[in-house]
Structure 1
Amino acid sequence: MTSIGSSKADRFAEIDRCLAMISPSSSDESKFVGMLILPKLLQQNDAAAIQHVFDGMNFTFIERLLRTAPDENAEVPDSVMKEIAVNILGCFARYENLVTSKPMTERIPTLSTVLTPNDPTDVTEETLHIMLCMAVTKESMVKILDPDVLKNIFEVFAQTQKAKERSLCVQLVTSVYARACHQLHEKPIPSLTSAVKYSLKTTLSILSQIFKNDQDMLKFETLHMLSQLLPLVPSTVMDKVKHDAEKSYGRWLEHLRVGLRQLLSSRLRDSDRDEAMVVTACMLRYFGPDWLFSSLEQTKACKRKKEKQSEDKKVLEAYADANFPSLLVHLSAVETRVMLDDINDRLRSLHNLNAVVHDEEKERRQEIMIPVHYEILEACIQYLSMHFDNDSNSGTDPEVLLKIRKTLSDTLEIVMELLRFIQDTTDNDEELENNTIAQASMRIVAVWLAEEGFEL
């Protein structure tokens, strides 16, 4: 016992000597040596020692280490100094009461500057871990959502070849937005509302450009981030983003549409196609049917150009862009019909007391994705109802319109068939009210009857 106690006392004495070496009155050489030794004396499970060091830490010097500029003539490389600072902060980040404290939160802007794509050391990964631990308080989230900090994170995301670095960037961005938007859904917080609003301009601008231009796995990881982020944003916040987008930030809206067209024109896994549909539905919800369906007004002109210049790449690109809404509606309608047929078959088997093998994953996907597809189809119905008799729609190829209307009509017949069966076989009104798919189905049928009912 004496030996253990003596050893612990000796270690605390060494820690105190290091803290004295890094005090503000000490020389830079002394501070550097103290910082170099200190992490070696700390044990992550020794909360008392960590707290003791935190209380005596010279955070001003840590800031200086993080800000060290590259200098070829320096005796100690700047990367080593930054690594020492990050290691110290990493010790504190394991403790919730320390990582959320003001001295740590204030380091976020500078900490983000040490992020380096393809870092040969572990500094970038450790820094992202530290920021993940920090991203739980309002103050920390506001700091991380600063556009300059986000740009540093996205630089790593876009340029690194290291899967771990990119994965941590995705985790950090999505978790910050998830927590921030969750708090805003509960109550308005002016500072957080402002941070989310202004950060979205940077986030969506950067991600949409990557989404449009990259044709490798990064495109799919960007899609995943967008599909996680967009459904979270409160409509009140996105309304402000929409207002600014209409004035001067509209380029990213086009980039997103082009990226979605590139993906959905190719063969995709179900999970990737679902994420693309979620992003599409969110964009239609926030920015209205014109964001997607206005390109239909170019179908007639693009068709004529394609007939004359069938090998011209620009003409083919314009033709594909103009016809993308029609393709999207077809894909969404097919997905809807397949899922509704499966639900119909399952419900009829249950009603007839036949054995049914439940696939929970498939049923969960249906509950999530059917309302998403309905949202896309509903936006199409709304667009057609607003523009069908309008002169501005004169540029739309009639064949395209007829195909879209036929697709919608066929799909809505299947929706109504399912609804009739559910209503005929359900005795409990409460059960019907709690049926998400039934409620979503009634909504789109009501929209269809209101806007296009004359066709039935």
Structure 2
Amino acid sequence: MAAAATAPAPSLDDCLKLLRADRDEQKLAGLLLATKFCQGDDTDSILKVYRAVGSRFLRRLLMTGMGKTGNEKGSEDKEVYLRLSVTVLAAFSRVPEIASLAEMIDVVPLVAEVVSKLPEQSVAEECFEFFLLIAGASEQELAKFYEPKVMDALALSISTLPADSKSLELSTGLLQLLVNKLNMDMLCTATIQGLASMVVCLAKLFCVLQNAIKFDALHMLSSLLSLKNMLLFDVLRSIPTRVWATHIRVGVTSILQNRIVSYEKLQALLLADCMMSILGEDWLLQECDVSFQKEVMPVDKFVLLILESARVEIAVLLNELAYLKYDESPKSSTSREDSILQKQRSLAIAFSLLEKFIKLISSGAEDQLMRESTIMKAISGLNETIGIVLDFLQDSKDHRERKGDDLLAAVRIIGSYLAEAPHACKDKTRHLLGYILSIEGQDESSPFYSVCFMLPMLSQITLEADGCRTLASCEGYKSVADCLLKLIELAQVTNEDTGTIVLACDTIINFLNNRKNLQVQVDTGLTKFLRVLPLWAVQSSDLSIIILASCVCALILDLTSEQVLLSQSDFDISALESLSHLFVTSLDQKIGDDDRDLLEQQKMIISGYRRWAAKYPIISRIMQQALNI
């Protein structure tokens, strides 16, 4: 009797028969039974169950649970169907062969809609497990997750998950997967809105959480924003409220003001640098109000926190770089080079941030939003850091090293600061000027960018005889001349902005104007510009460019004579005629009294003509005929 009363347990075959039946009731019974067989690593059983039930029924079951089929079901029935469909989808997705199928990927938007309705935690957990497994199985279809409707739904749900929940852990893993597998081909108008939603979601996690996920959010934000994608930046700028930016500010503050390893602080500084790229340098100065924060760091303290953090990292990194590069102790060359590259990348982050900070201070925008005492502290700190960077270059000079991207980056930050404060760190700068102008980037065959970075400062210090004397003592004017020649060559090919060319010309004009006071012999190699500048200037319709080129040429003519020029194989009468026409064009223009710089340059050309007219009969004749001088 007992044996007769005990029914045999349903087998997998019984389950498959129910799943293959025509009626939905039988399929549902089969699915409920299948949950017992779709567990663990029994891949074969799970595959058999999936093939038996079919993707169409799974989709219909999910839509019924969501109330999308048009069939009115009781709320309890819908809840059961929803739970069952999500549970089964999560179970199926544990098999990569199933998870990578197109029909599974097509369900992603529907499941995203489920999580956007903020279901109870058990359902949310299975939804995010489904997402994570699908994303990990199919790299080709990842774009589905970046679609605005999908990512908006995910972001809405993730931002409400409890801090210690399994769902948040799974969703963080999903976001990490999406960020790590993101490539430039995915950054298009179809996905960029979804990525912006991801940034907003991560910003909130970064702000409010105080666990390991806070650092995960920091790393993902840094990775996304450091792509410097203009489409993404434009969408982020267009978001009506800047709450996301405030969230990032609060998160950055939390990282920098606590005792946290240097790597994490560098990531926070990178994020701050990205924020200034998106919203401008005055992002540092924006007042913020976060309702759930009892205290938000005041602008003055926040600005100094960012600056001091960057300064500390720069000092440490420069010291470590110098040790790695110049220490004599034995160490694996591969290990040493890897460490040097890592330090150089980290240094680039801190330098970029410091450069934006210099731009902020020089813009004057801080005057109305920061106390004068804060500004003075900032300037004092910048002075100190530039001094440390100069010490690093002195160390490099002592070790006879003048090639490297870290050295070039050091010159760039020095040039940025001295452009605004040309007499800062005067003794160190003047002592190292010749070396600084000789520094080459790793891929450069001769110094170029180092000179470009220093031109704003050089064009200012050469207004005085002392600055010209410094330039002459290291023959820096030759470096400026070589740089100008290359700039003109590049401008003829790329039509680049002429601002740097103007700075180089100004420096040469200042230097030649002070030549007699210096009592130095100027190299006659500058005469090559008597051919180059007229050819460059004639292509411009900008009168200021034409007059500037004429002014440089007028001063160079003091260094030689017509007879000497014509004796050169690459200089002939046509070159003299081109030069003459350049002078005529420059002087045959009416300049308003309010444009003092152009008037001054015209006076220099006329004064030059009076000095050297007798030495240049061809030029003199053409100018007299055209201008009646």
Same fold (TM over 0.5): yes
Counterpart Cα distance in 1 of 2:75 and 2:372? 71
Secondary structure of the structure 1 residue equivalent to 2:131: helix
Give 1:157 shift.
5.5
Secondary structure of the 1:447 match is helix
Aligned to 1:335: 313
Q: Is the 8 A contact 2:109 2:149 kept in 1?
A: no
Aligned position for 1:204? 199
Relative to structure 1, the CA distance from residue 97 to residue 455 in structure 2 (aligned partners, 3 Å threshold; closer, same or farther) is same
Give the alignment partner of residue 278 of structure 1, picking from 257, 267, 270.
270
Listed as ranges, the gaps of 5+ residues in structure 1 are 1-9, 299-315
Partner letter of residue 130 of structure 1? Answer: F
Paired residues of 1:156 and 1:166 also in contact (CA < 8 A): yes
**Is 1:194 aligned with 2:189?**
yes
Counterpart position of 1:173: 175
Deviation per CA, 1:286-342: give whole Å up to 9, x if none: 3321211466xx9xxxxxxxxxxxxxxxxx968722331122101210222123223
State yes or no: 1:386 paired with 2:325.
Answer: no
Question: Does the CA contact (< 8 Å) of 1:157 and 1:170 recur in 2?
Answer: no
Change (3 A) 1:157 1:118: farther
Q: Deviations over 1:146-198 (max 9, x none)?
A: 34554445534643254543222111112213323x2x2xx4x5xx5234421
Residue 36 (structure 1) aligned with residue 32 (structure 2): yes
SS of the residue corresponding to residue 159 of structure 1 reads coil
Paired residues for 1:348-359 under 5 Å: 348-350=326-328, 353=329
* Residue in 2 that maps onto 1:256: 248
Q: Which residue of 2 aligns with 1:238?
A: 232
Shift, 1:403, TM fit: 1.4
Show the 5 A alignment for 1:277-356: 277-293=269-285, 320-350=298-328, 353=329
The secondary structure found in structure 2 opposite 1:422 is helix
Change in CA separation of 1:355 and 1:173 when aligned onto 2, cut-off 3 Å? closer
State the TM-score, normalized to the length of structure 1: 0.72
- CA deviations on 1:362-412 (whole Å, 9 max, x unpaired) are 87763443222112111101122222xx7x835543322221112112112
Give the partner amino acid of 2:23.
S
Separation of aligned partners in 1, 2:14 and 2:96: 25
Q: State percent identity of aligned pairs.
A: 20
Q: Map residues 419-430 of structure 1 onto 2, 5 A cutoff.
A: 419-425=393-399, 429=403
The residue type equivalent to 2:192 in the other structure is: K
Could you tell me whether the CA contact under 8 Å between 1:141 and 1:176 is conserved in 2?
no
Distance 2:53 2:18 in 1: 10
TM-score normalised over the length of structure 2: 0.54
* 2:361 is aligned with 1:366: no
Larger radius of gyration: 2
Cα 1:163–1:418 change in 2 (3 A) is: farther
Q: Does 1:440 align with 2:409?
A: yes
Match of 1:455, SS state, is: coil
Please report the RMSD computed on the Cα atoms of aligned residues, expressed in angstroms.
4.1
After TM superposition, give the deviation of residue 262 of structure 1 in Å: 4.6
Contact 1:145-1:195 within 8 A present in 2 as well: yes
Mean Cα deviation higher: 398-407 or 254-263: 254-263
CA distance in 1, matches of 2:271, 2:295: 22
Residues 1:217 and 2:195 are matched in the alignment = no
Q: Distance in 1 between matches of 2:376 and 2:260?
A: 27
Matches within 5 A, 1:55-94: 55-67=51-63, 68=65, 78=79, 81-94=81-94
Q: 1:94 to 1:412 in 2, by over 3 A?
A: same
Aligned match of 1:376: 353
Unaligned runs of 5+ in 2: 1-9, 289-293, 426-629
- What is the count of residue pairs matched by the alignment? 400
CA contact (8 A) 2:324 2:336 kept: no
| SS of residue paired to 2:270 | helix
Residue 346 of structure 1 contacts residue 356 of structure 1 at CA under 8 Å; is this kept in 2?
A: no
Residue deviations 1:238-284, cap 9 Å, x none?
33224414xx2433223322443354344444454333222212212
Q: Is 323-332 or 64-73 further displaced after alignment?
A: 64-73
**Bigger mean CA deviation after superposition, 398-407 or 85-94:** 85-94
**1:404 and 2:378 are equivalent in the alignment:** yes
